[in-house]
Structure 1
Amino acid sequence: MTNKIDEKNLKALAQRGLSLLRLTENRWIELEACRNRGTKFSLTFPHAISHSGRPNTLVLIATTGRTHTLRLGLIRSIQAISTLDSRVMFDCVLMITPRSINALVAGVTSATLRGPINKLKSETVEFQPVSKKLGEKLIALIAEVPANAAVFQRILAEVGRPKYYENGHALQENAVNLALKAFGVVDGAKSVALPGGNTAIGAVRLQEDAVIEHDARWIPGWHLSNSDLTGKAVFTRRGEQLEVFTANKRPLEELFGVDLIYLNQARGSLVMVQYKMMEPKGGKRHRIKNGVPNIEQHEVREWTVPINAQFQSEMERMKKFDNDLSPEGPYRLNPGAFFFKLVRRHSAIKSAGIMLTLQHLTQLIEDGCTTGSRKGLSISYSVLDGHYLRSDPFIELVRSGYIGTRSGTTEHLQTLIEAALTGGRSVVAAIQSAMEGLSLEESNRSQVPE
């Protein structure tokens, strides 16, 4: 089934402008033989020609020779690299229908566009802008072809990626990227377009020269063996298996109080992460122009996360499942499943954030370290005083199996996860009810449906 294109976002993208890049068949063969197989590449032009396009605008790539092909992509960036030349980075490049410029412009019937069409067909410059009105019409014609929907989905997901921690979507994107990086999927980037745009799996970057649709495309070395609308994707590579879940206000989050769950099959370990936004406390504020909308920057001495009723409720849910059912199993520095990642609001998505275990946070609360002047609870940088994990060390510990649940707990939690995904809120309610009066192991035996 073809995903529906977001017409409002597509119109906004079309209004940014369109450029045309002409390539010979031999040049395209060279690009296709490179690491990214033509999905991402850069070319250099004199400054004046380079600025025929603008970053984050669309580009048509027409290849001529024995055969004609037409591709649509995104101009990622334009950067001066010498006194005379600039480098233009093209990304998210995929083949579209129709297969040639002539076939595409044949669908334009407006008499007012005949001049721009003739100019486009007669000129031979390698890289040039397309007139605004003609560009919008050509993009509309391409979008009318159902087979091109996946191309637009990929580009729209890329230009719509959040750059700052402003909302839950930004947190989810970072969460999935953290999980993928922990399993070695660390190369640059192509976006994933799965149904269910509200899940982070629908718009994260995976690996260069790769794009995955719900109907299963490929990643070099990895295979998407299963995906569904619950926010779950299963990847396999050389005997390894990576499972990524995003709760996204679904039954999994209701059950465990977490945003992200990922499973290291090779080590038999499972780790769950809850994201929390750190808010500025005190200091001055000012706004800077950095795209739309403008970003408010804070000059602060402290960042804190309020431990409110919702936060405490999430911690209580986590504690119900925080038992080691196989202490005799593989060695762990910490056999707990639950972690918190704290990120500063408005900070860049690529910023590291800090990691805390559930046990560490619980100890801080019990010791009174998180009590504020008005007896409210909050976590702050000054209280932690560097006593936390950064994301990269955390990733290495997950990858090596030094943290996360052992086999018994992992199997139990897997059972609960699958039950919650397939049974929805009714199963979540049954599990929660069982947890009130039974131990974790007893609950697994008596309440989870087979």
Structure 2
Amino acid sequence: MANANRTAAEHVSSADLIYYNDTRQSLVLVQYKKLNARRKGYYYPNSDSGLDGELTRLRAVDRYAALLRKSGDDHRLCPDPSWIKLCPPEAVIPQADVMVPGMYFSRRHFEQLRQDARLQDGRGGGVRFGFANVPSYLDNTMFTRLVETGMIGTTGVGTELVRQQITRSFKQGKALILGLLTGPEEPQSERNSRRRSGG
């Protein structure tokens, strides 16, 4: 993991994390957002002036990745690269060696939840995201396991798309964490067999 940041981490409200598995040509791009302490730990997407531009960028990345997919590629539960993570307001993001707690959403799931009546705050129909009202999300354990096993993320993506996303992150003044996995990958069946045998 590497951490590249132009801004003091404690002042960052939006950051990017990029996981790239060179062996499986799989990219996962996570857009970090902070829950708002002054709003009782909720995130109000309609009050985030930068969100629409960020979602436009994430949709474009997803469309580009879809063009690279082939019928014989590895199966993915979610083949789009774009994810959003909402973190507690007191969290310092990002850190290269610590995963702060939070809620992970695929970009599509996040946009669907913005239309979900269960997330309305009762005051004029404003939508808010928080641990108390979001019906489903991935936590750190579930998300990292899916990334590790290659069940989410792109297929057939080379380093050029990774370079593009790193460049865009810097141009937007975001903090950036990059995780890179290279070399041969042991099949999950073999890893599980070794764990069961105590090896």
Taking structure 1 as the reference length, the TM-score comes to 0.30
The equivalent residue for 2:58 is 318
Aligned match of 2:28 in 267, 271, 279? Answer: 271
Q: 2:86 aligns with which of 307, 332, 342?
A: 342
C-alpha distance in 2, partners of 1:377/1:316?
Answer: 19
Q: Does 1:379 align with 2:149?
A: no
Per-residue CA deviation, residues 99-145 of structure 1 (Å, 9 max, x unaligned), is: xxxxxxxxxxxxxxxxxxxxxxxxxxxxxxxxxxxxxxxxxxxxxxx
Counterpart in 2 of 1:305? Answer: 43
Deviation at 1:345, TM superposition (A): 1.7
d(CA) in 1 for partners of 2:89, 2:100: 11
Cα deviation code 1:236-281 (max 9, x no counterpart):
xxxxxxxxxx6x57xxxxxxx8512121112210111111111236
SS of 2:52 mapped into structure 1: helix
Instruction: Give the paired residue count.
Output: 152
Cα distance, 1:412 vs. partner?
5.6
Report the CA distance between 1:369 and its aligned residue: 4.5
The 5 Å alignment of 1:139-178 reads: none
**Separation of aligned partners in 2, 1:327 and 1:341:** 28
User: Stretches of 4+ moved more than 6 A in 1?
Assistant: none
Partner of 2:37: 280
Q: Tell me how far apart the structure 2 counterparts of residues 395 and 403 of structure 1 sit (CA, whole Å).
A: 10
Structure 2 unaligned runs (5+)?
Answer: 8-13, 93-97, 172-199
Is the 8 Å Cα contact of residues 269 and 406 (structure 1) preserved in structure 2? yes
DSSP-derived class of the 2:18 partner: strand
In the alignment, which residue of structure 1 is the partner of 2:110?
361
Q: In the TM superposition, what whole-angstrom CA distance separates every residue of 1:374-424 from its partner, at most 9, and x where no partner exists?
A: 343321223313x1111122111111111111114x556236347x38xx8
What are the superposed Cα offsets for residues 144-180 of structure 1, whole Å, 9 maximum, x if unpaired? Answer: xxxxxxxxxxxxxxxxxxxxxxxxxxxxxxxxxxxx4
CA distance in 2, matches of 1:412, 1:347: 31
Secondary structure of 2:129 counterpart: strand
TM-score of the two chains, using structure 2 as the length reference: 0.63
Amino acid at match of 1:396: R
Give the Cα–Cα distance (whole angstroms) in 1 for the partners of residues 52 and 120 of structure 2.
14
- Report how far residue 336 of structure 1 moved: 1.1
Aligned counterpart, 2:164? 416
Q: State the identity as a percent.
A: 26
Please say if residues 36 and 42 of structure 2, whose CA atoms lie closer than 8 Å, have aligned partners that are also in contact.
yes
**CA spacing shift, 1:406–1:350, aligned 2, 3 Å:** closer
Match for 2:43: what amino acid?
Answer: V
What does residue 174 of structure 2 align with? Answer: none
Counterpart CA distance in 1 for 2:99 and 2:61 is: 31
Q: Helix, strand or coil for the counterpart of 1:378?
A: coil
Paired residues of 2:119 and 2:134 also in contact (CA < 8 A): no
Is 1:259 matched with 2:30? no
Contact 2:35 2:86 in 1 (8 A): yes
Higher strand share: 1
Matched position secondary structure for 1:318: helix
Aligned to 2:193: none
Paired AA for residue 402 in structure 1: M
Q: Take 2:165 and 2:37, find their aligned partners in 1: how far apart are those partners?
A: 35
CA distance in 2, matches of 1:371, 1:313: 23
Offset, 1:371: 3.8
